């Protein structure tokens, strides 16, 4: 893939994004918070990534590393941000945040529930200084309840929410690979931020508010609607088939394909693809409800025929017949897929520090106010002086803060 563009960490002249002029103080680390704030940055917000003197743990996770403290993991979750180092455990660092707060629209943190209060930076303290602030607390289990103080990671949430048994085979529960609980929480937090900004815009007093986004709530709301279908009308239960039976891959003569057949016309199309039109007329399978009831009888009949066709031929015929199937790609095959290339869903940009860097493009295509990648991920503390000068600190104040160890 050819590198398309070179830019410094300074923003280029482009049409403003939909969040242009919004200033976000990002106190988050790892995945759930950084992915949320990165999306705001893609849409034009000024993201100030406030890091501790040791930096976001993502700097030291997720090889490959271009240099110490700069990982591929960091690069994929922290573009369009500026990094400042402030020691929030110092009184000078805490006072600096309070001093700068009125110039901030949104603050996002993903500490455990009591950390900000212990630092003297809890929401009630900040609200008194800046009533218009949108304060977003992303955490594992919420700020109260029996699990509120427990550490939360993606795997913990996958196990807790009841998703894993449906992912396994031969009775062994399996994790969804990739931090799906973290990432769905990030998108939930993003939606919350945008809704809170709209509410503030409409409020006569321009008041902000505190948002709490707990992973246990966000991930279950994202992952479980299908699983909850047969719990919708207790005590009625669906005994037709399991998700593991229905959501499956299909072996072809030379690989695998995957698809979903809901509409009767789609099923009839598949039957023509495999040259078994009789199955579409079989009273056990001719209607969607009947197929669900008799799915375990239908699967071996379909499986035997799909196995006879090479993947490329099967997919060509399936698409011609309106049967929704796709190849089971590996990552490189996805990156070179013709639709991905056409839409530039993945771009390669030149980082003057490190050379070519691949990014997933901002997924929302705005017609008038485009999202864009304006900055590569920052080095630790790369923008401390720049940002603090913009926010009104002079050279003497910066020198004093640096001498005290409050900034770096």
Residue range 305-326, pLDDT digits in tens? 999 999 999 999 999 999 999 9
Percent of the chain residues topping a pLDDT of 70: 93
Q: Which helix (H) or strand (E) holds 67?
A: strand 65-67
Q: Mean of the pLDDT values across residues 82-93?
A: 98
Reduced DSSP (H G I as helix, E B as strand, rest coil) percent helix, strand, coil of the chain, to 5: 40, 15, 45
Tell me the three state secondary structure of residue 42. Answer: helix
Residue 383: what pLDDT?
98
pLDDT over 90 (residue 350): yes
Residue 163: what pLDDT?
85
Quick: pLDDT tens for 163-188: 888 776 667 888 999 999 999 999 99
Whether 18 and 369 have beta carbons less than 8 Å apart is answered as: yes
Rounded Cα gap, residues 268 and 290, in angstroms: 14
Closest CA to 47 of 354, 352, 376: 376
Rounded Cα gap, residues 172 and 124, in angstroms: 46
Rounded Cα gap, residues 306 and 300, in angstroms: 10
Count the neighbouring beta carbons within 10 Å of the beta carbon of residue 293: 16
Rounded Cα gap, residues 157 and 179, in angstroms: 10
Quick: pLDDT tens for 366-387: 999 999 999 999 999 999 999 9
Residue 126: what pLDDT?
99
Q: Where are the domains of the chain?
A: 5-225+345-404, 256-327
pLDDT over 80 (residue 78): yes
DSSP 58: G
DSSP 102: G
Residue 408: what pLDDT?
95
Residue 167: what pLDDT?
77
Residue-wise burial string across 166-205, b where 16 or more C-beta atoms lie within 10 A, e elsewhere = bbeeeeeeeeeeebbbbbbbbebbbebbbebbeebeeeee
Residue 172: what pLDDT?
83
Q: In this structure, what token pair is assigned to residue 177?
A: 């690979």
Quick: pLDDT tens for 18-46: 999 999 999 999 999 999 999 999 999 99
Low-confidence winner among 163-177, 184-198, 268-282 (lowest mean pLDDT): 163-177
Categorize the per-residue pLDDT at 143 as very low, low, confident or very high, splitting at 50, 70 and 90.
very high
What number of H helices and E strands is found in the chain?
18, 14
Residue 3: what pLDDT?
47
Residue 300: what pLDDT?
96
Percent of the chain residues topping a pLDDT of 90: 85
Tell me the three state secondary structure of residue 205. Answer: coil
The mean pLDDT value of the chain amounts to 93
Helix 311-321 crosses helix 264-273 at what angle (to 10 degrees)? 140
Rounded Cα gap, residues 241 and 239, in angstroms: 6
Q: Which helix (H) or strand (E) holds 125?
A: helix 123-129
pLDDT over 70 (residue 88): yes
Residue 346: what pLDDT?
97
Phi, psi of 59 (to 5 degrees): -65, -25
According to DSSP, the β-strands at 23-26 and 46-51 are parallel
Closest CA to 63 of 73, 51, 75, 49: 73
Domain with residues 5-225+345-404, CATH architecture = 3-Layer(aba) Sandwich (3.40)
Q: Mean of the pLDDT values across residues 284-295?
A: 93
Whether 37 and 108 have beta carbons less than 8 Å apart is answered as: yes
Domain with residues 256-327, CATH architecture = 2-Layer Sandwich (3.30)
Q: Identify which has the larger pLDDT, 218 or 15.
A: 218
Q: Which helix (H) or strand (E) holds 38?
A: helix 32-42
Strand order in the sheet with 5-6: 5-6, 346-351, 355-360
Categorize the per-residue pLDDT at 10 as very low, low, confident or very high, splitting at 50, 70 and 90.
very low
Side-chain half-sphere of 320: how many Cα atoms within 13 Å?
10
Categorize the per-residue pLDDT at 62 as very low, low, confident or very high, splitting at 50, 70 and 90.
confident
Tell me the three state secondary structure of residue 227. Answer: coil
Give one DSSP letter per residue of 250-298, joined into a string: EE-SSSEEEE---SHHHHHHHHHHTT-HHHHHSTTTSSHHHHHHTHHHH
Q: In this structure, what token pair is assigned to residue 69?
A: 């403290």
Strand order in the sheet with 106-109: 81-85, 46-51, 23-26, 106-109, 134-139, 209-214
Q: Which residues is 357 bridged to in the sheet?
A: 349
Q: In this structure, what token pair is assigned to residue 272?
A: 């023509």
Residue 262: what pLDDT?
86
Categorize the per-residue pLDDT at 12 as very low, low, confident or very high, splitting at 50, 70 and 90.
very low
Rounded Cα gap, residues 331 and 327, in angstroms: 12
Categorize the per-residue pLDDT at 58 as very low, low, confident or very high, splitting at 50, 70 and 90.
very high
């Amino acid at each position: 893939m050819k590198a398309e563009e070179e830019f410094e960490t300074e923003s280029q002249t482009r049409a403003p994004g939909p969040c242009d002029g919004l200033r976000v103080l990002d106190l988050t680390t790892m995945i759930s918070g950084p992915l949320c704030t990165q999306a705001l940055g893609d849409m034009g917000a000024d993201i100030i990534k406030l890091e501790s003197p040791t930096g976001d743990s993502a700097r030291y996770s997720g090889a490959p590393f271009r240099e110490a403290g700069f990982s591929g993991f960091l690069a994929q979750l922290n573009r369009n941000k500026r990094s400042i180092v402030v020691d929030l455990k110092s009184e000078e660092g805490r006072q600096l945040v309070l001093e700068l707060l009125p110039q901030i629209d949104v603050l996002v943190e993903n500490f455990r529930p009591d950390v900000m209060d212990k630092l003297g930076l809890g929401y009630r303290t900040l609200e008194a200084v800046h009533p218009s602030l949108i304060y977003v607390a992303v955490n594992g289990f919420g700020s109260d309840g029996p699990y509120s103080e427990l550490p939360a990671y993606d795997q913990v949430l996958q196990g807790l929410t009841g998703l894993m048994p449906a992912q396994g085979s031969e009775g062994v529960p399996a994790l969804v690979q990739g931090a799906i609980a973290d990432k769905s929480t990030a998108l939930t937090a993003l939606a919350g931020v945008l809704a809170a900004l709209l509410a503030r815009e409409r409020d006569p007093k321009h008041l902000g508010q505190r948002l709490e986004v707990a992973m246990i709530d966000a991930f279950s709301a994202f992952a479980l609607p299908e699983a909850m279908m047969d719990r919708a009308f207790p005590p009625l239960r669906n005994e037709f088939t399991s998700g593991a039976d229905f959501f499956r891959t299909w072996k072809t003569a030379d690989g695998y394909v995957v698809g979903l057949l809901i509409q009767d016309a789609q099923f009839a199309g598949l039957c023509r693809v495999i040259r078994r039109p009789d199955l579409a007329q079989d009273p056990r399978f001719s209607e969607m409800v009947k197929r669900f009831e008799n799915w375990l009888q239908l699967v071996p009949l379909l499986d035997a025929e799909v196995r006879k066709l090479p993947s490329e031929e099967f997919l060509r015929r399936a698409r011609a017949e309106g049967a929704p199937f796709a190849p089971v790609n590996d990552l490189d095959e996805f990156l070179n897929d013709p639709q991905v290339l056409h839409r530039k869903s993945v771009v390669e940009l030149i980082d003057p520090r490190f050379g070519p860097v691949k990014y997933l493009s901002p997924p929302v295509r705005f017609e008038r106010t485009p999202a864009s990648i304006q900055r590569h991920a920052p080095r630790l503390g790369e923008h401390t002086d720049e940002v603090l000068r913009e926010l009104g600190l002079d050279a003497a104040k910066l020198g004093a803060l640096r001498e005290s160890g409050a900034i770096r």
